[in-house]
């Protein structure tokens, strides 16, 4: 995460990075007053629909104070239409039955089954499921906590979206002393991201019918049983029915032996999760392998290259700048392991003799073509012309100041770009000093859009390991972008009329997204980007006027969609690229009425 690079709000940023910022954020925006609680009770009582939510809680020898706190967090719910379905998995600690019976006698909404022998968490969860009569199933671990408004927020979401099938919220961790830390502000539903990590996690709520149709929790998947269930259910629902509540509704207890502390506490869960993902891919007809994502507890999905391997047309606009063009071309030709590909260099009016000599020298290569385009610089027009000339079913937009690092960069990107549900695929781009130049585009940053984790160290994991795993994003830069040619042409290519230089890639990615495809960024295609060497900076009145016009075009064309990025939390700042907290959040966790 970016540290110390931005002077503005430096103290606040430092506080965020060492944890104090979250304490402040919680106090300002995520702490109830009695009046606010009363307002929510009134709202809960006046919902048009009041669905019954069945909370599944498998129990086995929990510490006394934690199981008490977990049950009390349910009984303290502002929304009253719930039932707590507890399956005790043959606990041996005598306090467990005493506590469970104590609460059952005081609240008729609590149901309990005592299993005669221990069957582990999947069987215990299924035993609790047998008690459920609600329309919705929520899961609560026996030592975790629900926020008081958790079920109200779920019920309100069901009222807003009656077709919802799966609902999930943000979460944080809580230690033995009740201190909250390590918030996880999640993206909206991101199918490919979910293949790399079970980011749904807590709190997740499913329609009961879907859980039962899936057969409940599968024995043999203990440790990743919820991940497996999520994947099996999501195979049968429309993505638009998966709803995300961008609020902290769940506290995950971080104690010794819990994966909230470290996945290393339960190392077997990784292999079980891999098995769940691999089976999901097989069921959905995706040919891919599942591997460790290096330096993380998560997964790398490696889609298979179609056979025969498709031709990729790499399009490189250039004007003079021969040193960088040479480095770009030679790094592609010298390092890229993928075949077949062609390189289309579009010369936009080079006059430098050395550049012209170099272009002439590479024109003799079998897989290199030179197109001449003598017109004022228009990045969109240049690429559109070249795409029409491309021989491959996949086209790659490549800046002339790109330099290949990882030999398998193109194989990685082609694998993803070949999947029918994927639109644009972007790469991990670095400055020459090994800091991040591009890790995907976030809408709303600095007004229109900006680059994720810009200036972060090459090896840092980023927020929630986002620099280490492939993920869905709204947009990626055209400095290195792959897309199927038919998709490029179907959405009209880049806008060569109103977005000649800036934001044409963001606009293009949004058009691809609107057409029903999902865009994706991968950290496993790594290249250097010596930014803007082909066109220089926006440093004269003419360029500034053009840039402002392009900003206005984006704002008028996309409106509020530039303000709400589904893959970036409204609880995170749009003033910087570092994923620090937003003061205030753009969605209030607690309404300040």
For 384-398, the pLDDT digits (tens) are 999 999 999 999 999
**Token digits for 437?**
């130049």
> Backbone dihedral region of 180: left (phi > 0), alpha (psi from -120 to 50 degrees) or beta?
beta
Q: How many CA atoms lie within 13 A of 11 on its CB side?
A: 1
The CA distances from residue 135 to 166, 208, 283, in Å, are 12, 5, 27
pLDDT reported for residue 426 = 99
Give, in words, the CATH class of 312-530: alpha beta
Place of tokens 């207890």: 253
- What's the angle, vertex CA 190, arms to CA 189 and CA 195, rounded to 5? 125
173 band by pLDDT with thresholds 50, 70 and 90: very high
CA distance 392 to 98: 69
Classify each residue of 390-419 as buried b or exposed e, where b means 16 or more C-beta atoms within 10 Å of its C-beta. bebebbbbbbbbbbbbbebbbbbbbbbbbb
Q: How many residues does the chain have?
A: 593
The rounded distance, in Å, linking the Cα atoms of 508 and 450 is: 15
Q: Encoding tokens for residue 447?
A: 């007004």
Quote the strand ranges of 530-584, DSSP E: none
With bands split at pLDDT 50, 70 and 90, how would you rate the model's confidence at 262? low
Bond preceding residue 308 cis, omega within 30 of 0: yes
Domain 19-262 has CATH 3.30.70.580: no
Contact 467, 413 (CB under 8 A): no
**Which contiguous run of DSSP H or E holds residue 443?**
strand 441-443
> Could you read off the pLDDT of 396-416 as tens digits, one per residue?
999 999 999 999 999 999 999
Token pair in block for residue 480: 């290195």
What is the mean predicted confidence (pLDDT) over 219-232? 98
CATH 3.90.550.10 range(s) for the chain read 19-262, 312-530
What value does the mean pLDDT take over residues 13-17? 41
Handedness of CA 527, 533, 534, 539 (dihedral sign): positive
Q: Range with the lowest mean pLDDT among 243-257, 310-324, 365-379, 462-476?
A: 243-257
* Cα-Cα-Cα-Cα dihedral sign, residues 326, 329, 333, 335: positive
Consecutive H or E run containing 138 = strand 136-139
pLDDT of residue 591: 55
61 forms beta bridges with none
First-to-final CA distance of the chain:
34
% of the chain exceeding 70 in pLDDT: 93
User: Taking CA 16 as the corner, what is the angle to CA 15 and CA 17, rounded to the nearest 5 degrees?
Assistant: 95
Q: What sign results for the dihedral spanned by CA atoms 385, 428, 7, 179?
A: positive
């Amino acid at each position: 995460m970016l540290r110390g690079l931005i002077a503005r709000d430096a103290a606040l940023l430092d506080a965020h990075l060492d944890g104090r910022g979250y304490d402040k954020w919680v106090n300002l925006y995520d702490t109830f007053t009695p009046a606010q609680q009363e307002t929510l009770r009134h709202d809960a009582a006046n919902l048009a629909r009041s669905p019954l939510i069945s909370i599944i809680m498998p129990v086995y020898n929990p510490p006394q104070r934690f199981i008490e706190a977990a049950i009390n967090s349910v009984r303290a719910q502002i929304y009253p239409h719930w039932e707590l379905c507890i399956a005790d998995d043959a606990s041996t600690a005598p306090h467990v039955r005493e506590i469970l019976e104590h609460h059952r006698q005081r609240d008729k909404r609590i149901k309990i089954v005592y299993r005669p022998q221990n069957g582990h968490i999947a069987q215990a969860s299924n035993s609790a499921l047998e008690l459920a009569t609600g329309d919705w199933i929520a899961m609560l671990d026996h030592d975790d906590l629900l926020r008081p408004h958790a079920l109200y927020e779920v019920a309100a979401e069901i009222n807003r979206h009656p077709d919802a099938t799966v609902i999930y919220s943000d979460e944080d961790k809580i230690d033995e002393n009740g201190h909250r830390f390590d918030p996880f502000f999640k993206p909206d539903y991101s199918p490919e991201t979910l293949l790399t990590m079970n980011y749904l996690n807590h709190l997740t709520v499913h329609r009961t019918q879907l859980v039962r149709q899936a057969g409940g929790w599968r024995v043999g998947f203990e440790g990743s049983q919820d991940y497996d269930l999520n994947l099996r259910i999501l195979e049968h629902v429309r993505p638009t029915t998966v709803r995300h509540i961008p609020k902290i509704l769940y506290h995950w207890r971080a104690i010794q032996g819990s994966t909230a502390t470290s996945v290393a506490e339960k190392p077997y869960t990784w292999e079980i999760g891999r098995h769940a993902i691999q089976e999901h891919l097989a069921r959905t007809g995706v040919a891919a392998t599942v591997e460790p994502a290096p330096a993380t507890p998560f997964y790398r999905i490696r889609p298979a290259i179609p056979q025969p391997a498709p031709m990729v047309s790499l399009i490189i606009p250039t004007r003079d700048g021969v040193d960088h063009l040479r480095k770009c071309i030679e790094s592609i030709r010298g390092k890229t392991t993928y075949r077949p590909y062609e390189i289309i260099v579009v010369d936009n009016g080079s006059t430098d003799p050395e550049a012209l000599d170099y272009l002439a020298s590479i024109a003799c290569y079998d897989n290199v073509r030179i197109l001449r385009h003598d017109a004022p610089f228009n990045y969109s027009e240049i690429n559109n012309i070249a795409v029409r000339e491309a021989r491959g079913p996949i086209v790659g937009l490549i800046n002339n100041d790109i330099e290949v690092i990882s030999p398998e960069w193109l194989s990685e990107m082609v694998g993803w770009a070949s999947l029918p549900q994927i639109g644009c695929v972007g790469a991990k781009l670095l400055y020459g000093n090994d800091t991040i130049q591009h890790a995907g585009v976030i809408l709303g940053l600095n007004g229109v859009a900006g680059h994720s984790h810009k200036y972060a160290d090459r090896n840092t994991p980023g927020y929630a390991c986002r620099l280490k795993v492939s993920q869905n994003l709204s947009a990626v830069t055209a400095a290195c972008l792959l897309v199927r040619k038919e998709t490029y042409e179907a959405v009209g290519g880049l806008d060569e009329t109103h977005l000649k230089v800036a934001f044409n890639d963001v606009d293009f990615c949004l058009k691809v997204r609107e057409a029903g495809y999902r865009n994706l960024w991968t950290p496993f295609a790594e290249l250097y980007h010596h930014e803007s060497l082909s066109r220089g900076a926006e440093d004269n009145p003419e360029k500034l006027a053009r840039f402002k016009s392009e900003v206005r075009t984006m704002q008028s064309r996309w409106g509020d969609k530039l303000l709400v990025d589904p893959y970036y939390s409204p609880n995170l700042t749009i003033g910087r690229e570092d994923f620090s907290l937003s003061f205030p959040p753009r969605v209030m966790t607690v309404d300040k009425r």
